[in-house]
């Protein structure tokens, strides 16, 4: 009689935490989410987006591959695998309609979107609403990976001086304006001059682009933050070793980001690299 009782308790525990569906694009985030599920003993299922998710992501993990325009097929797969909670994770480049080749579900979604398809934040907010109307609960990756969310204060031994603090203030003001226009989540400021703002190319390309605009004197500061009013469960900015290395190579003096609003990956290695190069990293 003991064995059936133990099995019953095990079933009750597994049912207490809903199965997680991970809609996976590029980058490290989908892998971290899958690993967190394994560590927590939580059931999960990966929907890997073709052309964006890394092939290694799906090795020995429950998954299906999906073309970006096959939204209806994706909903059916999630239901088939008894998914209740959903998380959207990883980078996905916005395709043209020709590249997208939308199925019926996607066509209906785009028809409802109308001109709102132009803005990333409007698109993501509408997508979250559409998925929740299908009966799923969309959760933010930060609710699962809380240890990776940026904390306030310096991350290494290097501290920003008064001039860098002024550049940081200017940078955050610029990023707020960018976000209000649904343009980007990062800017680089040097000695009060805005060297560049993030567009569709991403943060690393922004840093590389601004390297040629570097002025004499102390280097610029990269600032990253969420867009004001954006859908908080998707599209959280990230900082990692790649960002730090690109910043060092491009002559920046520091990286500042919104505490509570940015993921910081490979934290220890990023701090080691920054300390060695004399680059500050700080959450604000």
- What domain range includes position 42? 2-143
Which position has the higher pLDDT, 221 or 237? 221
92 token code pair: 């996905």
The domain boundary residue, chosen from 114, 143, 172: 143
Better pLDDT: 30 or 184: 30
What tens digit of pLDDT does each residue of 142-191 get? 999 999 999 999 999 999 999 999 999 999 999 999 877 778 889 999 99
> In terms of domains, do 158 and 260 share one?
yes
Q: Are residues 159 and 277 in the same domain?
A: yes
> Does pLDDT of 137 surpass 60?
yes
Q: What is the pLDDT of residue 132?
A: 94
Q: What mean pLDDT is reported for the chain? A: 89
136 and 230 fall within a common domain: no
For residue 120, pLDDT beyond 70: no
> What is residue 18's predicted lDDT score, i.e. its pLDDT?
95
CATH number at residue 111: 3.40.50.20
pLDDT of amino acid 9: 34
Tally of CB atoms within 10 A around 79: 14
162 and 272 fall within a common domain: yes
Residues 69, 193: one domain?
A: no
- Distances from the Cα of 255 to the Cαs of 53, 202, 207, 278, in angstroms? 27, 15, 11, 11
Helix, strand, coil in percent for the chain, rounding step 5: 45, 20, 35
Mean pLDDT of 129-148: 94
Say yes or no: 45 and 80 in one domain. Answer: yes
Would you say residue 1 has pLDDT above 50?
no
| The residue to which tokens 């001039």 are assigned | 163
pTM of the prediction? 0.84
Q: Which pLDDT value is given to residue 58?
A: 94
Res. 124 pLDDT band, cuts 50 70 90:
confident
136 and 226 together in one domain: no
Per-residue pLDDT for 10 more than 60? no
Look at residue 133 and give its three-state secondary structure.
Answer: helix
Say which residue, 174 or 120, is predicted with more confidence: 174
Q: Quick one: 117 and 136 in the same domain?
A: yes
25, 135: one domain: yes
Residue 60 backbone class (left: φ over 0; alpha: ψ -120 to 50; beta: rest): left
What CATH number is associated with residue 224? 3.40.140.80
Question: Predicted confidence band at 100 (pLDDT cuts at 50, 70, 90)?
Answer: confident
């Amino acid at each position: 009689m003991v064995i059936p009782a133990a099995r019953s308790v095990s079933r009750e525990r597994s049912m207490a935490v809903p199965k997680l569906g991970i809609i996976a694009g590029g980058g490290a985030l989908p892998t971290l989410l899958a690993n967190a599920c394994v560590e927590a003993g939580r059931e999960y299922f990966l929907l890997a987006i073709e052309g964006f998710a890394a092939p290694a992501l799906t090795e020995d993990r429950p998954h299906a591959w999906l073309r970006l325009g096959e939204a209806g097929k994706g909903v059916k797969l999630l239901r088939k695998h008894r998914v209740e909670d959903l998380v959207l994770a990883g980078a996905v480049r916005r395709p043209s309609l020709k590249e997208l080749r939308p199925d019926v579900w996607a066509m209906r979604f785009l028809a409802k979107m109308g001109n709102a398809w132009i803005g990333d934040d409007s698109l993501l907010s509408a997508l979250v609403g559409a998925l929740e109307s299908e009966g799923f609960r969309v959760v933010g990756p930060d609710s699962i990976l809380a240890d990776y969310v940026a904390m306030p204060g310096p991350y290494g031994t290097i501290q920003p001086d008064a001039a860098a603090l002024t550049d940081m203030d200017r940078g955050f003001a610029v990023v707020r304006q960018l976000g209000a226009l649904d343009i980007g989540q990062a800017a680089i400021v040097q000695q009060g001059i805005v060297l560049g703002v993030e567009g569709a190319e991403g943060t690393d390309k922004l840093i590389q682009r601004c390297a040629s605009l570097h002025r004499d004197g102390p280097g610029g500061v990269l600032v990253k933050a969420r867009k004001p009013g954006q859908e908080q469960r998707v599209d959280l900015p990230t900082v990692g070793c790649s960002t730090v290395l690109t910043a060092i190579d491009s002559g920046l003096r520091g990286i500042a980001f919104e505490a509570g609003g940015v993921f910081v990956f490979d934290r220890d290695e990023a701090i080691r690299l920054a300390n060695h190069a004399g680059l500050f990293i700080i959450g604000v």
